[in-house]
Every structure is written in C-alpha cells, then in structure tokens.
Amino acid sequence: MNLIKSLPLLISILSTTFLITFSNAATFDITNRCAYTVWAAAKPGGGRRLDSGQSWRINVAPGTVQARIWGRTKCNFDGNGRGQCETGDCNGQLECQGYGRAPNTLAEFALNQPNNLDFVDISLVDGFNIPMEFSPTTGVCRNLRCTAPINSQCPNELRAPGGCNNPCTVFHTNQYCCTNGPGSCGPTPLSRFFKERCPDAYSYPQDDRTSLFTCPAGTNYRVVFCP
C-alpha cells in the first residue's frame, strides 16, 4: 500500500475513532460548595485545588472500571505538586496516580458495563471526611447523597484527624472487612452507624444490595462536596 496515497484515509479513520471515543466519554463536573478549600482527586483524572465555589471538569473514557472521585482536606503542596493532606492523601501528590488514604468519602463508578449500564455508588468503606452528592446531569437515575454530620457524631474508636474511619480501617478483621469472601460478613453496629446516616452509601464491603446503583451508559455526572 502506498503510504502517501493512504495517508488521507488513515487520518480519516483516526479522526473518526477519536471523535467516537470522545463522544462516548462520560463528563464529571466536580464542584466544591464547602466553606473551605477542597483538593479534589480522581482516579483516573489526577487532582485539582478547588476553593469554595470552584469547579473542575474531567472526561472519563468508556469502559473505565474501579474509578473513584474524592476530596482531600488541609493540604499543603509545593510548586512541584508535592506535599501532604490530612485526609485523602494520595502518596503526597497533587495529581493523584493512585487511591487516597482513609478516611475519605468516595464516589465510585464503572462505565459502559454489561447491559449498557454504568455502575455508581457512594462508599464509606474508606470512611468519611466530606459530605458528598453524586448525581446524574443527563439520563434518569438516582441522586446519591451523604450529607449527615458524621465527623461530629463519629464513635470514639473510629475518630481520625479530619474524618471518621470505617471499622475495617481500624480493626482489619473479616467481621468488618469481609476478607474471607462473599457471604463472610454482614452489618455490624459500627457499620450501621454509617448506614443509618447515609442509607444510599456503602457501609461495609458487601453492602451491595442497598448501595450499588445503575445509570444508562452515556450518562454524565456531577460530584458536589458539601451539597
């Protein structure tokens, strides 16, 4: 095949592929309505400082799984994007490459899964640090919210600087972490502390029945800190 003659065709194919990929990407609008600064984090996506009232938009590719968005508090970064946060810290990086350190409230999602669905949830399995809303901006599916004053009501044994730990983080046992596989654990008094305050959120790792929700693939979303 003559490369020069084929170049327009190759450009056309690549451009079409790019447009299809981009058009199928899900948009996430992340907004800070807290009275304080939040350093938003996303995996994939990186990180961004959001002063009160500021927003950050990311596009996430179709087929992405095990993704999450969270907020970090009381951070201090240098000009190279290195530093530390009191909650949600991701290996001392402004631009997160991995998950954050507990406690942190999580918006979790997997896009374009079987039956052309997205799977979405708010999780407190890594604890709680910031009130959160996770909701669609397109499509018809459930608005998820966790806005209870969990930090101020946190049981003494779960208290942490800037947040409230999940019991799995504190005790590391199957009772709380479900490490022995499906059906090996259930609700506990400490997990019910979270569930009673945020009924839509995961309170322990196998809390799927009341905490995992679906949206049509192609839905766009918003995540709001302190809605």
The mean pLDDT values, 10 residues at a time, for the chain of 227 residues are 42 39 78 98 98 98 98 97 98 96 98 97 98 93 97 98 98 97 96 98 97 97 98
pTM for the full predicted model: 0.88
What is residue 140's predicted lDDT score, i.e. its pLDDT?
Answer: 85
What is residue 218's predicted lDDT score, i.e. its pLDDT?
Answer: 95
Residue 205 preceded by cis peptide, ω within 30? no
Residue 227 preceded by cis peptide, ω within 30? no
What is residue 10's predicted lDDT score, i.e. its pLDDT?
Answer: 40
Q: Write the CB contacts of 42 (distance below 8 Å, at least 6 apart in sequence).
A: 28, 30, 58, 67, 68, 69, 70, 96
3-class state of residue 45 by DSSP: coil
